[in-house]
Structure 1
Protein backbone atom coordinates (compact mmCIF):
# COMPACT_ATOMS: atom_id res chain seq x y z
CA UNK A 1 0.00 0.00 0.00
CA UNK A 2 2.99 2.33 0.03
CA UNK A 3 2.30 3.49 -3.54
CA UNK A 4 -1.56 3.58 -3.26
CA UNK A 5 -3.17 6.90 -2.51
CA UNK A 6 -5.92 7.17 0.16
CA UNK A 7 -8.42 8.15 -2.48
CA UNK A 8 -7.53 5.16 -4.65
CA UNK A 9 -7.81 2.79 -1.76
CA UNK A 10 -11.24 4.16 -0.70
CA UNK A 11 -12.61 3.92 -4.22
CA UNK A 12 -11.34 0.39 -4.63
CA UNK A 13 -12.77 -0.66 -1.29
CA UNK A 14 -16.19 0.89 -1.95
CA UNK A 15 -16.36 -0.71 -5.36
CA UNK A 16 -15.43 -4.08 -3.97
CA UNK A 17 -18.13 -3.86 -1.27
CA UNK A 18 -20.77 -2.83 -3.77
CA UNK A 19 -19.85 -5.64 -6.08
CA UNK A 20 -19.93 -8.28 -3.35
CA UNK A 21 -23.26 -6.95 -2.06
CA UNK A 22 -24.82 -7.16 -5.46
CA UNK A 23 -23.57 -10.64 -6.00
CA UNK A 24 -24.99 -11.76 -2.68
CA UNK A 25 -28.32 -10.21 -3.57
CA UNK A 26 -28.53 -12.12 -6.81
CA UNK A 27 -27.51 -15.32 -5.16
CA UNK A 28 -30.19 -14.94 -2.50
CA UNK A 29 -32.85 -14.21 -5.08
CA UNK A 30 -33.26 -10.60 -4.07
CA UNK A 31 -35.50 -8.85 -6.50
CA UNK A 32 -33.19 -5.99 -7.44
CA UNK A 33 -33.79 -5.93 -11.07
CA UNK A 34 -31.74 -8.85 -12.39
CA UNK A 35 -30.08 -7.57 -15.51
CA UNK A 36 -29.81 -4.03 -14.11
CA UNK A 37 -27.96 -5.32 -11.14
CA UNK A 38 -25.45 -7.16 -13.32
CA UNK A 39 -24.90 -4.06 -15.39
CA UNK A 40 -24.19 -2.06 -12.23
CA UNK A 41 -21.70 -4.65 -11.17
CA UNK A 42 -19.97 -4.44 -14.53
CA UNK A 43 -19.86 -0.64 -14.26
CA UNK A 44 -18.35 -0.84 -10.83
CA UNK A 45 -15.80 -3.29 -12.11
CA UNK A 46 -14.82 -0.89 -14.89
CA UNK A 47 -14.44 1.90 -12.34
CA UNK A 48 -12.19 -0.27 -10.24
CA UNK A 49 -10.09 -1.08 -13.29
CA UNK A 50 -9.75 2.63 -14.13
CA UNK A 51 -8.76 3.49 -10.58
CA UNK A 52 -6.21 0.73 -10.64
CA UNK A 53 -4.75 2.19 -13.77
CA UNK A 54 -4.43 5.51 -11.95
CA UNK A 55 -2.58 3.78 -9.16
CA UNK A 56 -0.18 2.25 -11.70
CA UNK A 57 0.60 5.76 -13.07
CA UNK A 58 1.76 7.07 -9.69
CA UNK A 59 5.20 5.32 -9.71
CA UNK A 60 5.84 6.54 -13.29
CA UNK A 61 5.30 10.14 -12.18
CA UNK A 62 7.69 9.65 -9.28
CA UNK A 63 10.29 8.25 -11.70
CA UNK A 64 10.05 11.33 -13.91
CA UNK A 65 10.53 13.60 -10.88
CA UNK A 66 13.53 11.61 -9.77
CA UNK A 67 15.00 11.71 -13.30
CA UNK A 68 14.50 15.49 -13.47
CA UNK A 69 16.19 15.84 -10.10
CA UNK A 70 19.15 13.75 -11.19
CA UNK A 71 19.44 15.76 -14.40
CA UNK A 72 19.49 19.00 -12.45
CA UNK A 73 22.10 17.60 -10.08
CA UNK A 74 24.26 16.59 -13.03
CA UNK A 75 23.89 20.06 -14.53
CA UNK A 76 24.79 21.67 -11.21
CA UNK A 77 27.85 19.47 -10.84
CA UNK A 78 28.89 20.31 -14.41
CA UNK A 79 28.54 24.02 -13.73
CA UNK A 80 30.53 23.64 -10.50
CA UNK A 81 33.27 21.79 -12.40
CA UNK A 82 33.41 24.50 -15.08
CA UNK A 83 33.60 27.19 -12.41
CA UNK A 84 36.41 25.36 -10.63
CA UNK A 85 38.30 24.92 -13.90
CA UNK A 86 37.90 28.61 -14.70
CA UNK A 87 39.15 29.65 -11.25
CA UNK A 88 42.13 27.32 -11.57
CA UNK A 89 42.99 28.81 -14.98
CA UNK A 90 42.70 32.36 -13.65
CA UNK A 91 44.93 31.55 -10.68
CA UNK A 92 47.51 29.92 -12.96
CA UNK A 93 47.49 33.00 -15.21
CA UNK A 94 47.91 35.28 -12.20
CA UNK A 95 50.87 33.28 -10.92
CA UNK A 96 52.47 33.26 -14.39
CA UNK A 97 52.05 37.04 -14.71
CA UNK A 98 53.60 37.53 -11.27
CA UNK A 99 56.55 35.31 -12.20
CA UNK A 100 57.07 37.19 -15.49
CA UNK A 101 56.94 40.55 -13.69
CA UNK A 102 59.46 39.36 -11.10
CA UNK A 103 61.78 38.08 -13.82
CA UNK A 104 61.60 41.39 -15.72
CA UNK A 105 62.24 43.35 -12.53
CA UNK A 106 65.24 41.19 -11.69
CA UNK A 107 66.63 41.56 -15.22
CA UNK A 108 66.22 45.36 -15.07
CA UNK A 109 67.94 45.53 -11.68
CA UNK A 110 70.79 43.35 -12.90
CA UNK A 111 71.23 45.49 -16.02
CA UNK A 112 71.24 48.70 -13.96
CA UNK A 113 73.75 47.21 -11.55
CA UNK A 114 76.06 46.07 -14.35
CA UNK A 115 75.79 49.47 -16.02
CA UNK A 116 76.70 51.25 -12.78
CA UNK A 117 79.67 48.93 -12.32
CA UNK A 118 80.88 49.59 -15.88
CA UNK A 119 80.55 53.34 -15.47
CA UNK A 120 82.37 53.26 -12.14
CA UNK A 121 85.18 51.20 -13.67
CA UNK A 122 85.44 53.49 -16.70
CA UNK A 123 85.52 56.53 -14.43
CA UNK A 124 88.25 55.01 -12.27
CA UNK A 125 90.32 54.12 -15.34
CA UNK A 126 89.85 57.60 -16.81
CA UNK A 127 90.84 59.30 -13.57
CA UNK A 128 93.86 57.04 -13.21
CA UNK A 129 94.92 57.79 -16.78
CA UNK A 130 94.51 61.54 -16.33
CA UNK A 131 96.40 61.42 -13.06
CA UNK A 132 99.26 59.54 -14.70
CA UNK A 133 99.33 62.08 -17.52
CA UNK A 134 99.41 64.99 -15.06
CA UNK A 135 102.18 63.40 -13.05
CA UNK A 136 104.18 62.73 -16.19
CA UNK A 137 103.61 66.31 -17.34
CA UNK A 138 104.67 67.64 -13.95
CA UNK A 139 107.83 65.54 -14.01
CA UNK A 140 108.61 66.69 -17.53
CA UNK A 141 107.84 70.28 -16.61
CA UNK A 142 110.09 70.17 -13.57
CA UNK A 143 112.88 68.62 -15.59
CA UNK A 144 112.53 71.17 -18.37
CA UNK A 145 112.29 74.04 -15.94
CA UNK A 146 115.48 72.86 -14.33
CA UNK A 147 117.15 72.66 -17.70
CA UNK A 148 115.75 76.05 -18.68
CA UNK A 149 117.07 77.61 -15.50
CA UNK A 150 120.54 76.42 -16.31
CA UNK A 151 120.30 77.45 -19.96
CA UNK A 152 121.15 81.02 -20.85
CA UNK A 153 118.22 83.24 -21.79
CA UNK A 154 118.36 84.33 -25.40
CA UNK A 155 117.64 87.81 -26.62
CA UNK A 156 115.10 86.42 -29.06
CA UNK A 157 113.48 83.12 -30.04
CA UNK A 158 112.02 81.82 -33.23
CA UNK A 159 108.58 80.25 -33.29
CA UNK A 160 110.03 76.81 -34.01
CA UNK A 161 112.41 77.11 -31.04
CA UNK A 162 109.55 77.97 -28.67
CA UNK A 163 107.45 75.14 -30.08
CA UNK A 164 110.32 72.72 -29.50
CA UNK A 165 110.48 73.88 -25.87
CA UNK A 166 106.72 73.34 -25.52
CA UNK A 167 106.94 69.85 -27.02
CA UNK A 168 109.61 68.91 -24.50
CA UNK A 169 107.83 70.46 -21.50
CA UNK A 170 104.23 69.51 -22.27
CA UNK A 171 104.82 66.10 -23.81
CA UNK A 172 103.61 64.64 -27.07
CA UNK A 173 100.27 63.45 -25.67
CA UNK A 174 99.02 66.95 -24.77
CA UNK A 175 101.14 69.09 -27.04
CA UNK A 176 98.64 69.56 -29.87
CA UNK A 177 95.91 70.83 -27.49
CA UNK A 178 98.44 73.15 -25.82
CA UNK A 179 99.62 74.37 -29.23
CA UNK A 180 96.03 75.08 -30.37
CA UNK A 181 95.52 77.44 -27.44
CA UNK A 182 98.90 79.20 -27.72
CA UNK A 183 98.44 79.70 -31.46
CA UNK A 184 95.18 81.57 -30.84
CA UNK A 185 96.25 83.44 -27.72
CA UNK A 186 99.64 84.78 -28.76
CA UNK A 187 100.75 83.23 -32.05
CA UNK A 188 103.80 81.83 -30.16
CA UNK A 189 105.06 85.32 -29.34
CA UNK A 190 106.37 85.17 -25.77
CA UNK A 191 106.29 88.97 -25.45
CA UNK A 192 102.76 89.45 -26.82
CA UNK A 193 100.78 92.00 -24.79
CA UNK A 194 97.06 92.73 -24.83
CA UNK A 195 96.77 96.52 -24.78
CA UNK A 196 93.28 96.44 -23.29
CA UNK A 197 93.62 93.92 -20.45
CA UNK A 198 97.37 93.71 -19.98
CA UNK A 199 97.45 89.95 -20.52
CA UNK A 200 101.01 88.91 -21.38
CA UNK A 201 103.15 86.18 -22.87
CA UNK A 202 102.52 82.94 -24.73
CA UNK A 203 99.54 81.96 -22.58
CA UNK A 204 98.29 85.55 -22.09
CA UNK A 205 98.38 85.34 -18.29
CA UNK A 206 96.20 87.90 -16.50
CA UNK A 207 97.52 89.51 -14.49
CA UNK A 208 100.88 88.82 -16.07
CA UNK A 209 102.70 88.81 -12.74
CA UNK A 210 101.14 85.44 -11.86
CA UNK A 211 103.80 83.77 -13.98
CA UNK A 212 106.41 84.79 -11.43
CA UNK A 213 105.43 81.64 -9.47
CA UNK A 214 107.21 79.65 -12.21
CA UNK A 215 110.31 81.81 -12.36
CA UNK A 216 111.60 85.33 -11.99
CA UNK A 217 112.47 85.46 -15.70
CA UNK A 218 108.83 85.06 -16.79
CA UNK A 219 108.93 88.22 -18.93
CA UNK A 220 111.73 87.02 -21.21
CA UNK A 221 111.95 83.23 -20.91
CA UNK A 222 109.44 81.22 -23.02
CA UNK A 223 110.19 78.06 -21.03
CA UNK A 224 109.05 79.73 -17.80
CA UNK A 225 105.84 80.87 -19.46
CA UNK A 226 105.21 77.39 -20.88
CA UNK A 227 105.77 75.83 -17.46
CA UNK A 228 103.35 78.21 -15.81
CA UNK A 229 100.74 77.75 -18.56
CA UNK A 230 100.93 73.96 -18.32
CA UNK A 231 100.46 74.03 -14.53
CA UNK A 232 97.51 76.40 -14.93
CA UNK A 233 95.79 74.15 -17.48
CA UNK A 234 96.36 71.03 -15.38
CA UNK A 235 95.03 72.60 -12.21
CA UNK A 236 92.00 74.31 -13.74
CA UNK A 237 90.97 71.89 -16.51
CA UNK A 238 92.79 68.65 -15.73
CA UNK A 239 95.01 68.85 -18.81
CA UNK A 240 95.78 71.02 -21.84
CA UNK A 241 93.18 69.02 -23.81
CA UNK A 242 90.61 69.81 -21.13
CA UNK A 243 91.54 73.49 -21.45
CA UNK A 244 91.29 73.30 -25.24
CA UNK A 245 87.82 71.76 -25.02
CA UNK A 246 86.70 74.64 -22.80
CA UNK A 247 88.37 77.18 -25.11
CA UNK A 248 86.46 75.89 -28.14
CA UNK A 249 83.15 76.41 -26.32
CA UNK A 250 83.98 79.82 -24.84
CA UNK A 251 86.97 81.25 -26.80
CA UNK A 252 88.84 81.86 -23.56
CA UNK A 253 90.20 79.65 -20.83
Structure 2
Protein backbone atom coordinates (compact mmCIF):
# COMPACT_ATOMS: atom_id res chain seq x y z
CA UNK A 1 0.00 0.00 0.00
CA UNK A 2 2.90 2.42 0.76
CA UNK A 3 4.44 1.57 -2.54
CA UNK A 4 1.18 2.46 -4.28
CA UNK A 5 0.86 5.74 -2.36
CA UNK A 6 4.40 6.80 -3.28
CA UNK A 7 3.73 5.96 -6.88
CA UNK A 8 0.62 8.12 -6.84
CA UNK A 9 2.52 11.02 -5.26
CA UNK A 10 5.27 10.77 -7.84
CA UNK A 11 2.68 10.80 -10.61
CA UNK A 12 0.94 13.83 -9.05
CA UNK A 13 4.24 15.74 -8.69
CA UNK A 14 5.21 14.92 -12.25
CA UNK A 15 1.85 16.19 -13.46
CA UNK A 16 2.31 19.51 -11.58
CA UNK A 17 5.76 19.95 -13.07
CA UNK A 18 4.47 19.24 -16.53
CA UNK A 19 1.81 21.95 -16.27
CA UNK A 20 4.54 24.65 -16.03
CA UNK A 21 6.97 23.10 -18.53
CA UNK A 22 7.46 23.84 -22.24
CA UNK A 23 5.19 22.07 -24.73
CA UNK A 24 7.67 19.27 -25.55
CA UNK A 25 8.01 18.58 -21.80
CA UNK A 26 4.22 18.45 -21.55
CA UNK A 27 4.08 15.79 -24.22
CA UNK A 28 6.87 13.78 -22.61
CA UNK A 29 5.10 14.11 -19.27
CA UNK A 30 1.90 12.85 -20.84
CA UNK A 31 3.63 9.74 -22.09
CA UNK A 32 5.35 9.18 -18.74
CA UNK A 33 2.14 9.62 -16.77
CA UNK A 34 0.39 7.15 -19.04
CA UNK A 35 3.13 4.60 -18.46
CA UNK A 36 2.88 5.13 -14.70
CA UNK A 37 -0.86 4.65 -14.86
CA UNK A 38 -0.49 1.44 -16.80
CA UNK A 39 2.06 0.17 -14.26
CA UNK A 40 -0.31 0.94 -11.42
CA UNK A 41 -3.11 -0.79 -13.21
CA UNK A 42 -1.06 -3.95 -13.52
CA UNK A 43 -0.01 -3.78 -9.86
CA UNK A 44 -3.58 -3.27 -8.71
CA UNK A 45 -4.78 -6.20 -10.69
CA UNK A 46 -2.56 -8.52 -8.65
CA UNK A 47 -3.08 -6.83 -5.26
CA UNK A 48 -5.55 -8.00 -2.59
CA UNK A 49 -9.07 -6.75 -3.05
CA UNK A 50 -9.27 -5.38 0.47
CA UNK A 51 -8.53 -1.58 0.46
CA UNK A 52 -7.64 -1.59 -3.22
CA UNK A 53 -7.96 1.62 -5.24
CA UNK A 54 -10.30 1.76 -8.26
CA UNK A 55 -8.09 0.78 -11.24
CA UNK A 56 -9.85 3.27 -13.57
CA UNK A 57 -9.05 6.15 -11.27
CA UNK A 58 -5.48 5.01 -10.86
CA UNK A 59 -4.97 5.05 -14.63
CA UNK A 60 -6.77 8.17 -15.82
CA UNK A 61 -6.37 10.71 -13.02
CA UNK A 62 -2.56 10.85 -12.84
CA UNK A 63 -2.10 10.42 -16.55
CA UNK A 64 -4.23 13.45 -17.54
CA UNK A 65 -3.45 15.75 -14.61
CA UNK A 66 -1.99 18.99 -16.04
CA UNK A 67 -1.55 17.49 -19.51
CA UNK A 68 -2.43 19.62 -22.58
CA UNK A 69 -5.31 18.03 -24.53
CA UNK A 70 -4.22 16.42 -27.78
CA UNK A 71 -6.88 18.36 -29.69
CA UNK A 72 -5.33 21.62 -28.48
CA UNK A 73 -1.86 20.43 -29.46
CA UNK A 74 -2.93 19.71 -33.02
CA UNK A 75 -4.90 22.95 -33.22
CA UNK A 76 -1.88 24.99 -32.16
CA UNK A 77 0.30 23.08 -34.61
CA UNK A 78 -2.15 23.80 -37.42
CA UNK A 79 -2.09 27.54 -36.62
CA UNK A 80 1.71 27.49 -36.56
CA UNK A 81 1.73 25.66 -39.89
CA UNK A 82 -0.58 28.27 -41.48
CA UNK A 83 1.68 31.12 -40.35
CA UNK A 84 4.71 29.28 -41.67
CA UNK A 85 3.12 28.80 -45.09
CA UNK A 86 2.16 32.49 -45.22
CA UNK A 87 5.74 33.47 -44.34
CA UNK A 88 7.17 31.16 -47.02
CA UNK A 89 4.76 32.55 -49.63
CA UNK A 90 5.57 36.15 -48.69
CA UNK A 91 9.29 35.45 -48.95
CA UNK A 92 8.90 33.82 -52.37
CA UNK A 93 6.70 36.65 -53.65
CA UNK A 94 9.21 39.25 -52.46
CA UNK A 95 12.02 37.41 -54.19
CA UNK A 96 10.09 37.58 -57.46
CA UNK A 97 9.52 41.32 -56.95
CA UNK A 98 13.23 41.89 -56.44
CA UNK A 99 14.10 39.99 -59.62
CA UNK A 100 11.40 41.80 -61.62
CA UNK A 101 12.55 45.21 -60.36
CA UNK A 102 16.10 44.70 -61.58
CA UNK A 103 17.24 46.96 -58.76
CA UNK A 104 20.39 46.66 -56.70
CA UNK A 105 19.24 45.65 -53.23
CA UNK A 106 22.63 44.48 -52.02
CA UNK A 107 24.25 41.07 -51.74
CA UNK A 108 21.11 39.30 -50.50
CA UNK A 109 18.46 39.19 -53.20
CA UNK A 110 16.21 36.45 -51.83
CA UNK A 111 15.09 34.86 -48.57
CA UNK A 112 16.28 31.31 -47.91
CA UNK A 113 13.23 29.25 -46.92
CA UNK A 114 14.83 25.81 -47.38
CA UNK A 115 14.81 24.83 -43.70
CA UNK A 116 11.36 26.26 -43.14
CA UNK A 117 9.95 24.40 -46.15
CA UNK A 118 11.40 21.12 -44.91
CA UNK A 119 9.77 21.60 -41.51
CA UNK A 120 6.53 22.63 -43.16
CA UNK A 121 6.49 19.42 -45.16
CA UNK A 122 7.04 17.40 -41.99
CA UNK A 123 4.39 19.22 -39.99
CA UNK A 124 2.01 19.21 -42.94
CA UNK A 125 1.90 15.43 -42.68
CA UNK A 126 0.57 15.71 -39.15
CA UNK A 127 -1.81 12.78 -39.52
CA UNK A 128 1.10 10.32 -39.60
CA UNK A 129 3.42 12.23 -37.28
CA UNK A 130 3.70 10.71 -33.79
CA UNK A 131 1.82 12.87 -31.33
CA UNK A 132 4.91 13.06 -29.17
CA UNK A 133 6.77 14.87 -32.02
CA UNK A 134 4.04 17.30 -33.11
CA UNK A 135 4.89 19.87 -30.48
CA UNK A 136 8.61 19.61 -31.14
CA UNK A 137 8.07 20.10 -34.87
CA UNK A 138 5.72 23.00 -34.23
CA UNK A 139 8.36 24.72 -32.14
CA UNK A 140 10.95 24.25 -34.87
CA UNK A 141 8.55 25.61 -37.49
CA UNK A 142 7.74 28.60 -35.28
CA UNK A 143 11.42 29.41 -34.88
CA UNK A 144 12.14 29.04 -38.59
CA UNK A 145 9.08 31.18 -39.39
CA UNK A 146 10.40 33.96 -37.17
CA UNK A 147 13.75 33.82 -38.99
CA UNK A 148 12.13 33.94 -42.42
CA UNK A 149 9.84 36.82 -41.42
CA UNK A 150 12.83 38.77 -40.13
CA UNK A 151 14.84 38.15 -43.29
CA UNK A 152 11.82 39.07 -45.42
CA UNK A 153 11.40 42.35 -43.56
CA UNK A 154 15.07 43.20 -44.12
CA UNK A 155 14.88 42.42 -47.83
CA UNK A 156 11.65 44.42 -48.13
CA UNK A 157 13.38 47.41 -46.55
CA UNK A 158 16.29 47.05 -48.98
CA UNK A 159 13.90 46.88 -51.95
CA UNK A 160 11.95 49.90 -50.71
CA UNK A 161 15.17 51.89 -50.34
CA UNK A 162 16.26 50.88 -53.85
CA UNK A 163 12.87 51.86 -55.27
CA UNK A 164 13.02 55.22 -53.52
CA UNK A 165 16.52 55.82 -54.88
CA UNK A 166 15.33 54.90 -58.37
CA UNK A 167 12.37 57.28 -58.06
CA UNK A 168 14.64 60.11 -56.93
CA UNK A 169 17.05 59.46 -59.79
CA UNK A 170 14.18 59.34 -62.26
CA UNK A 171 12.78 62.60 -60.91
CA UNK A 172 16.20 64.21 -61.24
CA UNK A 173 16.54 62.90 -64.80
CA UNK A 174 13.12 64.22 -65.79
CA UNK A 175 13.88 67.58 -64.19
CA UNK A 176 17.17 67.77 -66.07
CA UNK A 177 15.46 66.92 -69.35
CA UNK A 178 12.78 69.52 -68.73
CA UNK A 179 15.41 72.12 -67.90
CA UNK A 180 17.32 71.24 -71.06
CA UNK A 181 14.14 71.43 -73.13
CA UNK A 182 13.27 74.78 -71.58
CA UNK A 183 16.75 76.10 -72.27
CA UNK A 184 16.54 74.88 -75.87
CA UNK A 185 13.13 76.53 -76.30
CA UNK A 186 14.44 79.77 -74.88
CA UNK A 187 17.43 79.63 -77.21
CA UNK A 188 15.16 79.02 -80.18
CA UNK A 189 12.89 81.87 -79.12
CA UNK A 190 15.88 84.16 -78.67
CA UNK A 191 17.19 83.17 -82.10
CA UNK A 192 13.78 83.75 -83.66
CA UNK A 193 13.47 87.11 -81.94
CA UNK A 194 16.94 88.12 -83.06
CA UNK A 195 16.02 87.23 -86.64
CA UNK A 196 12.72 89.10 -86.38
CA UNK A 197 14.46 92.17 -84.96
CA UNK A 198 16.57 92.66 -88.06
CA UNK A 199 15.27 95.11 -90.70
CA UNK A 200 14.45 92.19 -92.98
CA UNK A 201 12.65 90.38 -90.15
CA UNK A 202 10.65 93.51 -89.33
CA UNK A 203 9.67 93.96 -93.00
CA UNK A 204 8.53 90.31 -93.19
CA UNK A 205 6.40 90.82 -90.07
CA UNK A 206 4.91 93.99 -91.57
CA UNK A 207 3.95 92.26 -94.84
CA UNK A 208 2.30 89.40 -92.94
CA UNK A 209 0.26 91.72 -90.66
CA UNK A 210 -0.69 94.04 -93.55
CA UNK A 211 -2.08 91.14 -95.53
CA UNK A 212 -3.83 89.19 -92.75
CA UNK A 213 -5.19 92.11 -90.70
CA UNK A 214 -5.77 94.94 -93.19
CA UNK A 215 -5.86 93.31 -96.59
CA UNK A 216 -3.13 95.60 -97.94
CA UNK A 217 -0.97 94.41 -100.79
CA UNK A 218 2.44 95.15 -102.27
CA UNK A 219 1.62 98.71 -103.31
CA UNK A 220 0.85 99.67 -99.72
CA UNK A 221 3.95 97.91 -98.46
CA UNK A 222 6.03 99.94 -100.90
CA UNK A 223 4.68 103.16 -99.34
CA UNK A 224 5.24 101.78 -95.84
CA UNK A 225 8.78 100.78 -96.70
CA UNK A 226 9.54 104.31 -97.90
CA UNK A 227 7.92 105.82 -94.79
CA UNK A 228 9.74 103.74 -92.21
CA UNK A 229 13.04 103.84 -94.06
CA UNK A 230 12.82 107.60 -93.62
CA UNK A 231 11.75 107.41 -89.97
CA UNK A 232 14.03 104.69 -88.56
CA UNK A 233 15.53 102.53 -91.31
CA UNK A 234 13.46 99.73 -89.74
CA UNK A 235 15.65 99.76 -86.61
CA UNK A 236 13.64 98.73 -83.57
CA UNK A 237 16.21 100.45 -81.33
CA UNK A 238 16.02 103.81 -83.14
CA UNK A 239 15.62 106.80 -80.85
CA UNK A 240 15.14 110.49 -81.65
CA UNK A 241 16.12 113.24 -79.18
CA UNK A 242 12.51 114.38 -79.39
CA UNK A 243 11.53 111.12 -77.71
CA UNK A 244 10.27 109.36 -80.83
CA UNK A 245 11.13 105.66 -80.49
CA UNK A 246 11.40 102.49 -82.53
CA UNK A 247 10.55 101.59 -86.11
CA UNK A 248 7.36 103.71 -86.34
CA UNK A 249 8.97 106.50 -84.22
CA UNK A 250 6.16 106.56 -81.68
CA UNK A 251 6.12 109.66 -79.49
CA UNK A 252 6.45 108.79 -76.71
CA UNK A 253 7.64 105.26 -77.23
CA UNK A 254 5.51 103.96 -74.33
CA UNK A 255 2.44 104.31 -76.58
CA UNK A 256 3.50 101.05 -78.18
CA UNK A 257 2.80 99.17 -74.93
CA UNK A 258 -0.80 98.91 -76.11
CA UNK A 259 0.46 96.39 -78.68
CA UNK A 260 2.55 94.40 -76.20
CA UNK A 261 4.64 94.70 -73.08
CA UNK A 262 7.74 93.74 -75.08
CA UNK A 263 7.54 96.83 -77.29
CA UNK A 264 11.09 97.86 -76.36
CA UNK A 265 12.67 94.57 -77.45
CA UNK A 266 10.39 93.18 -80.16
CA UNK A 267 10.29 94.68 -83.64
CA UNK A 268 7.09 92.80 -84.51
CA UNK A 269 5.29 94.50 -81.60
CA UNK A 270 6.42 97.90 -82.83
CA UNK A 271 5.30 97.05 -86.38
CA UNK A 272 1.90 95.93 -85.16
CA UNK A 273 1.41 99.19 -83.24
CA UNK A 274 2.68 101.32 -86.15
CA UNK A 275 0.29 99.72 -88.65
CA UNK A 276 -2.61 100.18 -86.24
CA UNK A 277 -1.70 103.85 -85.86
CA UNK A 278 -1.49 104.38 -89.64
CA UNK A 279 -4.83 102.64 -90.20
CA UNK A 280 -6.64 104.71 -87.55
CA UNK A 281 -5.10 108.10 -88.48
CA UNK A 282 -4.43 107.91 -92.23
CA UNK A 283 -6.32 104.90 -93.47
CA UNK A 284 -3.46 103.44 -95.51
CA UNK A 285 0.36 103.48 -95.55
CA UNK A 286 0.32 105.41 -98.88
CA UNK A 287 -1.77 108.19 -97.31
CA UNK A 288 0.63 108.33 -94.37
CA UNK A 289 3.59 108.47 -96.75
CA UNK A 290 2.00 111.34 -98.71
CA UNK A 291 1.47 113.27 -95.47
CA UNK A 292 5.07 112.65 -94.43
CA UNK A 293 6.36 113.91 -97.73
CA UNK A 294 4.29 117.06 -97.42
CA UNK A 295 4.77 117.76 -93.70
CA UNK A 296 7.98 115.87 -92.89
CA UNK A 297 6.17 114.00 -90.15
CA UNK A 298 3.17 111.73 -89.90
TM-score, normalising length: structure 2:
0.33
**Larger C-alpha radius of gyration, 1 or 2?**
1
TM-score, normalising length: structure 1:
0.38
